[in-house]
Amino acid sequence: MSAEYRVELYVYDLTKGMARAMSPALLGKQIEGIWHTGIVVYGKEYFFGSMGIEWCPPCGTILGEPNKREFMGETQIPEEVFEEYINGLRESVYAGGSYDLLKHNCNNFSNEVSQFLCGHEIPDYITKLPDEVLSTPLGQALAPMLASMSVTAMDPMHAGRPHNNC
């Protein structure tokens, strides 16, 4: 009998609530947040940023506690097989330097990993957000700046500090 491993999607608002408050005035439409996601499985949080694929303890990014945790399902894929898969992605599609906040980001990575582990995609409100923002005049104007944004694991200066035990 194969072991089953819980798979969760951790969802963070990069704006810490500012998108919800300011989007109607700035974009002419309400958006709830600018989402960063990570997949939590095997006791680790995996995510994609400007350095490529990284992992940390759950809630170990500079963002702290997630805004939402979505249960994606269970997987029977052994951790060793998953690590081989991740290493393949790290050397190809999700290599360091290939990150683009609007077109090739953490949410694309989380979506692909969720499909590999559980057989289904992450929620549309996350994956369709870049197109929704870019459909506005301000989104078009901010696109060059937004493309350079990224998330990393906590730096070594913070590694010894306790973080939110989420």
In the set 56, 59, 104, 106, the catalytic residue is 106
Angle at the Cα of 164 (from 162 to 166), degrees rounded to 5? 130
Question: What's the 3-state SS for 3-21?
Answer: CCEEEEEEEEECCCCHHHH
Tell me if residue 106 is catalytic.
Answer: yes
HSE-CB of 58 using CA atoms within 13 angstroms: 15
Report CA 147 to chain centroid distance, whole Å.
Answer: 15
In the set 36, 56, 59, 118, the catalytic residue is 36
Helix (H, G, I), strand (E, B) or coil at 70: strand
Helices (H), 60-152: 79-91, 106-118, 124-127, 129-134, 137-146
Report the length, in residues, of the chain: 166
Tell me if residue 118 is catalytic.
Answer: no
Catalytic positions are: 36, 106
